């Protein structure tokens, strides 16, 4: 939902907007060729809508031939100091809302609100933000609370996907895999959004190795790409958003590897800046071409689920 204003020019939040504004949003999504949408809670919070407004949201989406696929709970970490318990309760209410509305996935993570300096930057990822502490007790608390969410979600038949994000316990491939294995639930998987990591203005882990480690746990996927440059052997870095095709990650290679390995989850097109919806549509067409070109049957060994 990056293309859409969370608050309009008149100060009305999209969450509280009249039906006409929601209809305009879904018309734009449909005209761009999309048939499904992830609801970001930065824009609309299904857990905080009345039943009548939830039904209205579903009806308007259906009138525009758009399916509400998932809810992304972002920057509301269950271990955030002072509000972790409140964020946990909100995530549980979101699971109930997803189940009531017939959506398919809860996407969330451990990233926390942007700092003032990040909000003031041209690109927020160029400024350091919150980092989860190197504290095994707090990490254990994250595992406990996420496991509780996973068990709740399993009761209503919903998978949870945890988004990789820098400087959290989901901030490297090894740390993310360890967290998934510690949670140990079949319905809790990984959103291998390596795009969040390659955009950092600092040394990064190799994206190929990161995907090799994380794809066996993937059940949902935020896809975006960046043009990355490193100057003077690490003296300076540059990174700006671009299309899936033109960026640093070779998505032709990684998508083929994922699909051959058994990935069958959703692909979500994500882009920052400019005409985000238009670029997302371009990326969708590129991805559809990749999937179509690999549609012929082939023999392959499925990627092993290493937590088994």
Query: Which residue, among 162, 176, 170, 167, has the nearest Cα to 127 in the 3D structure?
Result: 167
Asked whether residue 246 is domain-assigned, the answer is: yes
132 is a domain residue: no
pLDDT of residue 302: 40
Per-residue pLDDT of 57-114, as tens digits, reads 999 999 999 999 999 999 999 999 999 999 999 999 999 999 999 999 999 999 999 9
Report pLDDT for 295: 65
- For 230-269, the pLDDT digits (tens) are 988 788 999 999 999 999 999 999 999 999 999 999 999 9
Q: Which residue has the tokens 């449909």?
A: 30
153 occurs within a structural domain: no
In the structure encoding, which two tokens stand for residue 66, read together? Answer: 């758009």
Instruction: Work out how many domains the chain is built from and give that number.
Output: 1
Q: Is the pLDDT of residue 296 over 60?
A: no
CA distance 280 to 237: 25
Distance CA 92, CA 81 (A): 18
Report the alpha-carbon distance of residue 245 to residue 148 in Å, rounded: 38
Q: What are phi and psi of 67, to 5 degrees?
A: -95, 135
Burial code of 70-93, b = ≥16 C-beta within 10 A, e = fewer? bbbbbbbbbbbeeebeebbebbbe
**Please, which pLDDT band fits residue 4 given cuts at 50, 70 and 90?**
very high
Residue 284 lies in a domain: yes
Q: State the maximum Cα–Cα separation within the chain, in Å, rounded to a whole number.
A: 58
Contact 302, 258 (CB under 8 A): no
| Whether this model's pTM surpasses 0.85 | yes
Distance CA 113, CA 117 (A): 11
Residue 237 maps to a domain: yes
DSSP 244: T
Q: Which domain holds residue 281?
A: 205-294
Least confident window among 18-27, 87-96, 245-254, 294-303: 294-303
Distances in Å between the Cα of 204 and the Cα atoms of 41, 224, 258 are 29, 16, 21
Residue 294 is predicted with a pLDDT of: 75
Whether residue 302 lies inside any domain: the answer is no
User: Which run of H or E residues covers position 285?
Assistant: helix 276-293
Note whether residue 304 is domain-resident. no
Q: Residue 4 falls within a domain, yes or no? A: no
């Amino acid at each position: 939902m990056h293309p859409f204003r969370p608050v309009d020019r008149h100060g009305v939040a999209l969450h509280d907007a009249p039906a006409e504004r929601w209809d305009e949003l879904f018309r734009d999504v449909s005209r761009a060729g999309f048939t499904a949408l992830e609801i970001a809670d930065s824009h609309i919070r299904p857990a905080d809508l009345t039943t009548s407004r939830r039904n209205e949201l579903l009806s308007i989406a259906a009138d525009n031939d758009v399916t509400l696929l998932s809810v992304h709970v972002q920057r509301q970490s269950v271990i955030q100091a002072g509000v972790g318990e409140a964020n946990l309760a909100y995530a549980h209410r979101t699971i109930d809302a997803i189940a009531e509305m017939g959506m398919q996935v809860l996407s969330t993570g451990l990233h926390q609100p942007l700092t003032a300096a990040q909000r003031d930057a041209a690109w927020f990822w160029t400024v350091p933000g919150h980092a989860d502490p190197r504290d095994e007790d707090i990490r254990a608390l994250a595992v406990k609370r996420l496991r509780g969410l996973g068990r709740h979600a399993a009761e209503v038949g919903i998978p949870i996907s945890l988004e990789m994000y820098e400087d959290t316990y989901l901030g490297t491939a090894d740390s993310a895999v360890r967290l998934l294995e510690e949670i140990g639930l079949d319905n809790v998987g990984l959103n291998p959004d390596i795009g969040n990591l390659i955009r950092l203005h600092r040394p990064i882990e190799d994206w190929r190795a990161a995907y090799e480690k994380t794809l066996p746990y993937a059940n949902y996927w935020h896809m975006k790409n960046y043009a990355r440059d490193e100057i003077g052997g690490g003296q300076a870095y540059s990174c700006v958003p671009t299309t899936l095709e033109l960026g640093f990650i070779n998505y032709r290679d990684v998508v083929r590897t994922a699909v051959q390995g058994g990935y069958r989850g959703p692909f979500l097109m994500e882009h920052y800046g400019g005409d985000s919806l238009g670029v997302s549509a371009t990326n969708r067409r590129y991805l559809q071409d990749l999937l179509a070109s690999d549609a012929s049957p082939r023999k392959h060994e499925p990627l092993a689920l290493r937590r088994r």
